Structure 1
Amino acid sequence: MSRVSGIKHLRNIKALVFDMDGTLCLPQPWMFPAMRKAIGLDDKSIDILKFIDDMPTEVQRNKAKEGIHMVEEQAMNEMEEQPGLVELMRYLTINDYSKSICTRNVITPVNYFVSKFIPTGYNLFDYIVTRDFRPTKPFPDPLLYISKQLNVDVSQMMMVGDSMDDMRSGRSAGCITVLLKNHVNGHIMTDHKDLVDYPIDNLSEIINILEDSNKK
């Protein structure tokens, strides 16, 4: 674990914001291709949510939303927690760090995951921002909203995720960015490492980052 970008001096972190899919839970690489197939989107360069928003009729938009909801329901039933998840949530709770979630998913899978995989007492999140909040990641707006609600400067917030959307959102908002590496996101460290402050292999490594920040 090491800092990559050197863009910002690490200040005392007060709040952490987590992506869910691929971050709090293990990656499900089949999910997004299945969503694209469900709504007839072949062009991988087009954002799924934007594609649905740009559909000409409400009937088409509702049908597409039903399609991705079916995929998300299957993904929810197959969720597995990331290694180090409970250890980190326990540490954050005991040490009074703010915890929030920022996801492009809907609230039902989030509530399911939090209640099933994080023990009671460690599973309280200050804010859960889903795709109902617009604009979504990769825009900074969801993180700026959380920062404002918490009255915490963005430089004292940490965005933890596994995707380009997470890193772009965190970087543009001014947060410390933490990339949870996996077997499908290696291109981020190869091509866009300027977006990443800390690459990690296990969520529990964040504990060391936080303890180091408190020594400064």
Structure 2
Amino acid sequence: MNKKEMNNNDKQLLIFDFDGTLIDSVPDLADATNAMLTTLGKETYSIDTIRNWIGNGSRLLVERALVGDIAVPEDAQTQAEADHAEQIFFEAYTKIGGSKTVAYPDVDSGLRKLHTAGYTLALVTNKPIRFVPKILESFGWQDLFSEVMGGDSLPVKKPDPAPLLHVCATLNVSVAQSVMIGDSRNDILAGQNANMDTLGLSYGYNYGQDIRELNPTEAFDSFADLVAWIMKDNA
């Protein structure tokens, strides 16, 4: 579907990404990553470097940190080494507890406006599900989302379309009535792979690539603009 062809009146379900779309969790993720690396006696990295490694779930973040690059060779480390490092990362992230994680501007009011307008909201993130409820509760969002999926809720995660299709099936909403909203290629590709309309946000974590290059149905530079566009036919 080409841009600006989405009929907002036909949409019922809004599926949101989490990190980079609703919340900026990079400071906490970077702290946990560097704590892991310090424990392992390895070099630590700047927050700007680690920012470009985020978005594919915790395992790939850990593997990228271990080699210091976004591209991880297949033989970079053994399964046992990666498992051990990931466990250290989880422990560090749990201790940090989201202390530096913040909502992006206008996200709180925007989500509540969409919810009040009658849209069904869902969350599909590549973050391990164990960390999601506490963060949602910290912002008071736990009652806004009808379905929440983590990166390990199914055997596959975004950009695979399975989590999005699972949400549609669970909530009994068709793909045609649904929209995937996110900041990265994983979000846009997941939506496209599900034959679902996609809305991109340019301010999040997308490995330095302009979200518009992925041809979402529409793209926005702020959450407020996104909400206004979705709501424009409901005014």
Mapped to 1, the partners of 2:16 and 2:169 lie a distance apart of 17
Moved more, 163-172 or 93-102: 93-102
Q: 1:127 aligns with which of 143, 147, 151?
A: 147
1:44 partner letter:
I
Mapped to 2, the partners of 1:211 and 1:7 lie a distance apart of 14
Alignment of 1:1-216 (within 5 A): 5-6=2-3, 9-11=6-8, 12-26=10-24, 28=26, 29=48, 30=50, 32=53, 35-36=62-63, 38=65, 40-42=66-68, 44-46=70-72, 57=79, 59-70=80-91, 72-73=93-94, 74=96, 76-118=98-140, 123-132=143-152, 133-182=154-203, 185=206, 187-189=209-211, 192-194=213-215, 196-213=216-233
DSSP-derived class of the 2:198 partner: strand
How far residue 127 of structure 1 moved from its aligned partner, in angstroms, is 1.1
- Unaligned ranges ≥5, structure 1: none
Counterparts in 2 of 1:139 and 1:8: CA distance versus 1, 3 Å: farther
Cα deviation digits, residues 109-148 of structure 1 (max 9, x gap): 321221112367xx43111111112210011111011111
- Unaligned ranges ≥5, structure 2: 27-47, 55-60
DSSP-derived class of the 1:212 partner: helix
Counterparts in 2 of 1:70 and 1:179: CA distance versus 1, 3 Å: farther
2:64 touches 2:70 (CA, 8 Å); kept in 1? no
Mapped to 1, the partners of 2:173 and 2:77 lie a distance apart of 38
How far residue 87 of structure 1 moved from its aligned partner, in angstroms, is 1.3
How far residue 94 of structure 1 moved from its aligned partner, in angstroms, is 1.2
Task: State the TM-score, normalized to the length of structure 2.
Answer: 0.72
DSSP-derived class of the 1:96 partner: coil
How far residue 7 of structure 1 moved from its aligned partner, in angstroms, is 8.3
1:104 partner letter:
N
1:157 touches 1:176 (CA, 8 Å); kept in 2? yes
DSSP-derived class of the 2:136 partner: helix
Superposed CA RMSD in Å reads 3.2
Task: State the TM-score, normalized to the length of structure 1.
Answer: 0.77
How far residue 55 of structure 1 moved from its aligned partner, in angstroms, is 7.2
2:183 touches 2:205 (CA, 8 Å); kept in 1? no
How far residue 182 of structure 1 moved from its aligned partner, in angstroms, is 1.6
2:184 touches 2:211 (CA, 8 Å); kept in 1? no
| Identity, % of aligned positions | 22
How many residues in Structure 1 have an aligned counterpart in Structure 2? 202
1:35 partner letter:
V
Mapped to 2, the partners of 1:144 and 1:55 lie a distance apart of 33
Mapped to 1, the partners of 2:69 and 2:130 lie a distance apart of 28
Mapped to 2, the partners of 1:213 and 1:137 lie a distance apart of 30
